[in-house]
Amino acid sequence: MVKTKIAVFVSGGGTNLQALIDAQTAGRLPSGEIVLVLSSAPDAYALERAKQAGIPRVVVARKAYATQSEFEAEICRHLKQNGIELIVLAGFMTILSAAFTRQYEKRIINVHPSLIPSFCGKGFYGLRVHEAALQYGVKVTGATVHYVNEVPDGGQILLQKAVLVEEGDTPERLQRRVMEQAEWILLPQAAELVSRQLAEGKGETE
């Protein structure tokens, strides 16, 4: 079976990218291969992680382009050049347009640090999600991997994993535990799930 070619989109430290790289190295991503890391920030540490893993990397910064469509056209150019079939958003801080997500329907996945539909949508990212969960007083939170469409955090849910909120949790402490117990586990699992579906689909059309 031919492997599904994956691009991972990043903007920051790249801990979720590292989870994907580690899964690939350990043989837990047999149906897919990360062939490109695309960053919206030139100084993202995720680029260093990609370099250390020997994965080609490129920077496409939103502020370098006058319009969203020009920015996305440049992204598409790199995706086509590398034959990308699946996009994994791993801390990518730029919202993609409906025009872009339609081009890659059921081919973009994202990990969100809550149990959707709680604490999700526009404005809910990073520590804000965990601050909201603690403020609300929930006893259980977690992470969700979902398909990406034109609605922020609105695509079909693929996988979810619950994480218990502990007494005395700070947003930072909760964030770390959700990453370790849910995000870093779920994202590679979902990448393999969708890669396998796409690879099997290719086999049927050949």
Pick from 12, 60, 10, 5: which is nearest to 37 by CA?
A: 10
DSSP string, 143-199: EEEEE--SSTT-SPEEEEEEEE--TT--HHHHHHHHIIIIIHHHHHHHHHHHHHHHH
Which sequence positions are flagged as catalytic? 112
The sign one gets for the Cα dihedral 134, 135, 141, 146 is negative
The CA radius of gyration of the chain, in Å to the nearest whole number, is 17
